[in-house]
Amino acid sequence: MSESGARPVAAPTQALPPLPVIARERLASARVLVVGDVMLDRYWFGDVNRISPEAPVPVVHVQRQEDRLGGAANVARNAAALGACTGLLCVVGHDEPGERIVELLKDSGVVPHLERDPELPTTIKLRVLSRQQQLLRMDFEKMPAHEALLAGLARFDTLLASHDIVLLSDYAKGGLTHVTQMIAKARAAGKAVLVDPKGDDWERYRGATVITPNRAELREVVGRWKSEEDLVARVTELRTSLELEALLLTRSEEGMTLFTAHGELNAPAVAREVYDVSGAGDTVIATLAAMLGARVPLVDAVALANRAAGIVVGKLGTATVDYDELFAPAH
C-alpha cells in the first residue's frame, strides 16, 4: 500500500473516537454478501542453494505448498473470521483450483454461492518464496463467460433479501461486469453497498454507500493533489458527482481518512512493524462491512477497520484478523 515519492500531508483536524468493543452476538447478527473476483493464492516455499546452469536465476527446491483464498474470497474470509454471517457470490471454473476454493471456503465458514463456468480457468496467483522472501509471482486468469455472469446477476437478486450489507470486491477480472445494476438493485432494496474499486471508471460505482480506494487508486481518478485542502476539494467533488455517502481513503503509513458530507475524520496508522501489506485492503473493507452489518456507526466501524489493518500487515500473505485479536486489550 505504500507508494514511493508520496508527499506527507497535514492531518485533518478531527480524529476518530476511541475503539469501541462490539459484542460477539452483534457481529453474529451481521449478514454480509460479498460479490466479486475470486482467486486462489498459491504459495510454494523452498530453499535456494544454487544458481541454474541454464540461466542466471536461482533454483528453488520446493518443499511445501500452501493455498489461501484470494480476492473477493479473502474479503469474505475476513468478514467470517470476525463472526459475521458471510455469503460469497462469484464465478469459478470446473478445475482443481476451483475445487480447492470450494474446500477453503467451507473451512473458513463462508457460505458459497458459486456459478461454475466450464470454460473458465480459475484465477491463480502463484508465488514462489524462499526464506520468507518472494522470488516470483505467476498469474493465471481469464474473463468469465457472459452466460455465467448473467446467472450470477440473477442469483444476486434472490440473495439480496437475506443480507443486510452488500460488499463488491473488484479486482478487474470480469466478475463485476454488472456492478452498476447490482448497486442500483441493492440500494433500491434499502441495503448499504461497500465497494473496493479498480480502474479509472468509477461511474460504474455510482450510488454506492462507501467506496474504499487506496492512494494510488484515488490518484488514478482525481489526479495528484497538492495539499490536504486540494485533496478534500477533489474528493468532495467526486463523492458528490457519484452520489457516494462516504469515501474511505487508505493512506498506508498515514493511516486512513473518512470523507463524508459532515467533513473529514482521520485514523492514524497503528505503529508496528509491517511484514506484508498484501490483502490489507481486503481486511479493511471486510471489517467495515461486518461492523456496519452489526449496526455499528460508520465512524466507529472505520476505527475498528484501521486497527484490523494494523494487525493483518504483521502477518504473511493474505491473512485474517479474528474477533479476539481485534478486541484484545492494548498493551
Cell numbers for 72: 473477493
Which residues does residue 57 pair with via DSSP β-bridges, in sequence order? none
Cell numbers for 15: 480524529
**DSSP assigned state of 93:** E
* 282 included as an active-site residue: yes
Which residues does residue 125 pair with via DSSP β-bridges, in sequence order? 41, 139
- Look at residue 164 and give its three-state secondary structure: coil
Of 37, 117, 196, 282, the catalytic one is: 282
CB 139 within 8 A of CB 42: no
User: How many whole angstroms separate alpha carbon 75 and alpha carbon 86?
Assistant: 10
CB 120 within 8 A of CB 174: no
Reported as type and span, the H/E element at residue 60 is: strand 58-71
Alpha-helical (H) ranges within 45-201 are 72-81, 96-108, 146-159, 179-188
User: How many whole angstroms separate alpha carbon 155 and alpha carbon 57?
Assistant: 47
CB 192 within 8 A of CB 98: no
Could you list the active site residues? 282
